[in-house]
């Protein structure tokens, strides 16, 4: 249980990475396979502090190890990767940070919602994350922890949660127009998602969002972590965002999520909507 000192729950081992095709689809002559493979290598890293060897990157991406070796050498030369003192393992480099900073400068929406979601994190004493659709995942573009929060999850900005197996993924799917959603659900099934489980979870969550504005995920991503999530519509349709509140299952029980956490999330969204920050 929660102690006076901070506790940490590590659930990152469950996160799939490096999604998306590395080969041209439907005979697309404009598709640059080498570029796609390089981006796959970057997407293999779960967070900025992780260090991986070529063998691990090859396992995560499905690319041949000789191909990975050439790609990591090129990305290292360009500053997108750095290596450890022994030169055997790689981490994300400063050039990646420059790209992410440029994204945040060009997209002001995460900064606009920041004070509201920080207040929400403190009110519920849990993690609050703003996620953006990225391939078959929702990637955290901002993350807030409650001031004084004692239980710390090991997720950070850049963390990916699978659409098929997370509350934020279900909320993201519910935010899409029908054609885009149908296509993405079909792609998830092709990628290996359990079709029956995916369809059941989506129907339930979509119904909850229709009725309450939010959906609840009880251990659907990790057995020890529960969450509540809701779509968040940026003005002008600038990306498919959703917001997620997550925490240990023994604290964020289903009753707490439905009675307290979910309604507080909706109050925050309504406050932002009244100010024109969200649609």
Are residues 259 and 215 in contact, defined by beta-carbon separation less than 8 angstroms? Answer: no
More confident residue, 137 or 11: 137
- Closest C-alpha among 63, 47, 109, 102 to residue 238: 109
Domain CATH for 200? 3.30.450.40
DSSP state of 63: -
| Residue 17 confidence class, pLDDT cut points 50, 70, 90 | very low
Among candidate residues 60, 95, 130, the one where a domain is terminated: 95
> Do residues 30 and 160 both lie within one domain?
no
> Do residues 227 and 169 both lie within one domain?
yes
> Do residues 144 and 259 both lie within one domain?
yes
Are residues 129 and 225 in contact, defined by beta-carbon separation less than 8 angstroms? Answer: no
- Which residue range forms the structural domain that includes residue 15? 7-95
219 pLDDT more than 50: yes
> Do residues 90 and 112 both lie within one domain?
no
Domain CATH for 52? 1.10.10.10
Are residues 243 and 124 in contact, defined by beta-carbon separation less than 8 angstroms? Answer: no
Are residues 37 and 276 in contact, defined by beta-carbon separation less than 8 angstroms? Answer: no
pLDDT in tens, 84-118: 877 789 988 888 877 766 666 566 788 889 999 99
Mean pLDDT of 261-277: 94
Q: Any residues with CB less than 8 A from the CB of 261 and at least 6 apart, and which?
A: 124, 126, 228, 245, 252
CA–CA dist 95, 97 (Å, integer): 5
């Amino acid at each position: 249980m929660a102690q006076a000192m901070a506790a940490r729950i590590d659930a990152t081992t469950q996160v799939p990475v490096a999604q998306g095709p590395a080969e041209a689809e439907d005979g697309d002559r404009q598709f640059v396979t080498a570029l796609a493979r390089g981006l796959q290598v970057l997407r293999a890293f779960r967070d900025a502090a992780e260090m991986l060897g070529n063998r691990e990157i090859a396992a995560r991406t499905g690319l041949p190890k000789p191909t990975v070796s050439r790609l990591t050498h090129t990305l290292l030369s360009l500053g997108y990767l750095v290596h450890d003192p022994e030169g055997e393992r790689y981490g994300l480099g400063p050039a990646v940070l420059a790209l992410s900073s440029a994204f945040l400068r060009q997209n002001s929406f995460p900064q606009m919602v920041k004070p509201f979601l920080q207040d929400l994190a403190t009110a519920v004493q849990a993690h609050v994350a703003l996620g953006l659709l990225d391939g078959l995942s929702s990637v955290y573009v901002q993350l807030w922890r409650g001031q004084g929060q004692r239980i710390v999850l090991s997720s950070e900005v850049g963390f990916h949660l699978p659409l098929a197996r997370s509350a934020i993924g279900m909320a993201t799917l519910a935010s899409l127009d029908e054609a885009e959603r149908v296509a993405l659900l079909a792609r998830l099934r092709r990628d290996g998602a359990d079709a029956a489980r995916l369809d059941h979870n989506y129907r339930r969550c979509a119904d909850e969002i229709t009725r309450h504005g939010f959906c609840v995920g009880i251990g659907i991503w990790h057995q020890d972590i529960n969450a509540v999530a809701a779509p968040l519509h940026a003005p002008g349709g600038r990306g498919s965002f959703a917001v997620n509140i997550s925490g240990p299952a023994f604290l964020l029980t289903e009753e707490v999520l439905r009675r307290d956490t979910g309604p507080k999330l909706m109050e925050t969204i309504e406050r932002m909507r009244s100010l024109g920050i969200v649609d």
